[in-house]
Amino acid sequence: MSLIPQVKCGRCDRTYSGLRSRCPYCGAHRHKKGKRVSDGDNATWKLIIGILLIVVLIAAVIVILVTGSSDDPEGSRGKPSSSEGVDNQPGNTNPSTTPAGTQIAVTLADGSTVATVTAKAGDEVQLSAAVTPDTVTDVPVWTTSDENIVKVEADETGKTAKLTAVANGSAVVTVTVGDVKVDIPVTVGEDTGTTPPTTTPGGSVASSIEVSSQYSKGKPITDNTLHVGEKVTYTAKVTPSTVTSPVEWTVNTPDALEIVKQDDTGLKVRITCVGAKGYVTVTATVDGVSYEFRIQCVK
């Protein structure tokens, strides 16, 4: 059964759509069902049924579209919403605040550097941790390998700590800043009552030192050329990184170069060419280990 019923023209006897009121061929006006159409072939009901089927089809399409747009797409399931912060996602952690080259200098209350501590039971020793560079934001953390031998208590900043000798024996007190740490061996001996706690200055002993410039991108240099008045930053890399002894800089022709330390560690200096003296030798030294390179001062 066709969705749109057909009728026959009473004049020309041709068949045309039941939706028309006149014959498209001869223009005759349609009367009821048209000529020669059987009573069982009810064009009116065919028209109604066809229209209903079209309406139902359109409604079904609309329902499918509305339902599909309201559901959560499969690809978005399990993904965080836009309101969730990126810090809540696994693997997304805050960047480290301890840059490469961080140094920890452990000192006594008088400012002298300390590498080991010897004390008698009952003694208390005040230590301080100086961290460089100043951009480090990690708080120093103090720990002891054996609280039965020595205890350690730090303030909120972690910059100062009190060591308490508990009983005879040996332990290691460690101060840690990020990934950098310094170990302080502590020996608690007999109570002689004659000597206060003693320390061995120096910290870790340097095994090597290298110097690079701001232009060598961290690579060691052998020669450099500076014009009179030019200022260049040079950096010393000391191994191991736990060395606390300051780096000393010397030049064999003092009136050719001016060397200015950028901090107390001496790891970074600014060198200015002040006289056209040709090649001069600069030496960086720490714990008896040195590194030499040449700078040519020209006009």
Taking only the tens place, the pLDDT of each residue in 57-86 is 999 999 888 887 655 555 445 544 444 444
Domains in the chain with CATH codes: 6-67 (no CATH), 103-200 (2.60.40.1080), 208-298 (2.60.40.1080)
| For residue 223, pLDDT beyond 50 | yes
- Alpha-carbon distance of 202 to 237, in angstroms, equals 17
- What strands lie across the sheet with 103-108, from one edge to the other? 103-108, 124-132, 160-165, 150-154
Helix, strand or coil, per DSSP, at residue 274: coil
Question: Which range, 2-6, 15-19, 131-135, 235-239, has the best average confidence (pLDDT)?
Answer: 235-239
- Alpha-carbon distance of 103 to 235, in angstroms, equals 14
pLDDT in tens, 172-185: 999 999 888 888 89
Which whole number is the average pLDDT over 263-284? 92
Instruction: Please give the model's pTM, rounded to 2 decimal places.
Output: 0.36
What is the predicted pLDDT for the residue at 154?
93
Q: Which residue has the higher pLDDT, 242 or 193?
A: 242
What is the predicted pLDDT for the residue at 201?
44
| For residue 276, pLDDT beyond 90 | no
Place of tokens 């953390």: 141
Q: What is the mean pLDDT of the chain?
A: 79
* Contact (CB, 8 A) for 240 and 264: no
What is the predicted pLDDT for the residue at 34?
47
Cα distances (Å, whole numbers) of residue 217 to 17, 211, 213, 268: 88, 11, 7, 14
What is the predicted pLDDT for the residue at 249?
95
